[in-house]
Amino acid sequence: MIKGSFGMALAAAAACQPNTTRPAFGPQPEAAATEIRLPVREATRQLALALRSDSIPAAVVRERDGYIETVWFDASSGQPTRRRPIGAEIVRVRAWADPARAGNSLLTVETLYRPLADPSLPERELDRQVARNHPIALKVEGALRQLLERYGGPPPPEVQQPADVPSEAGEDIESGEDLGGDESSP
């Protein structure tokens, strides 16, 4: 019995070990996203640099986990704030870099605000994506566009030619030539 309990406790402890330092939630569905031709670590590093050059101050950059996060900051000045994060003028940016095709990463960046304070709800449920024309959302879109132009995106989809399919009358569709497949014709 002790052996079984010890094994269960060990398994439970192992299950609690995080394999990542990312938050338990993913990005908002409305978050900006693009795929670039860089592996996750390098994509994370380049995105952090692009955001910083656009006055978006990353407080956490975890290249190994493909995660970036800012503190709440004033959208007009780019400076961290001690004000309560309520309203679209106080925002936070979070970014995820996930593996996509071989050698590519999918970058997803959310720009958040909180429209209200509600102590009865978990904080994440209060987060909302800013409007697409918000100044910080425009900076994020610009940073993603810059990375896409610099490193390239996914390869274009392969155009598949449709196979030649004979029609029911036995006529070759492309050439219009009669193949003699219709029994009713003489």
- Whole-number pLDDT of residue 170: 53
For the chain, percent of residues with pLDDT exceeding 70: 76
Residue 179, pLDDT score? 53
- DSSP per-residue string spanning the chain: -HHHHHHHHHHHHHHHS-S--S-SS---TT-EEEEESS-HHHHHHHHHHHHHHTT--EEEEETTTTEEEEPPEETTT--B--S---STTEEEEEEEEEE-STT-EEEEEEEEE-S---TTS-HHHH-EEPPTTSHHHHHHHHHHHHHHHHH--SPPPPPPPPPP---TTSB-TTT--B-S--TT--
Return the CATH number of 34-151, one of 3.30.70.1050, 2.40.340.10, 3.30.310.80, 3.30.2130.10.
3.30.310.80
Question: Which residues in the chain show pLDDT less than 70?
Answer: 1-18, 163-186
pLDDT in tens, 16-67: 446 778 999 999 999 999 999 999 999 999 999 999 999 998 999 999 999 9
The pTM of the full predicted model, rounded to 2 decimals, is: 0.74
| Domain range summary for the chain, segments of one domain joined by + | 34-151
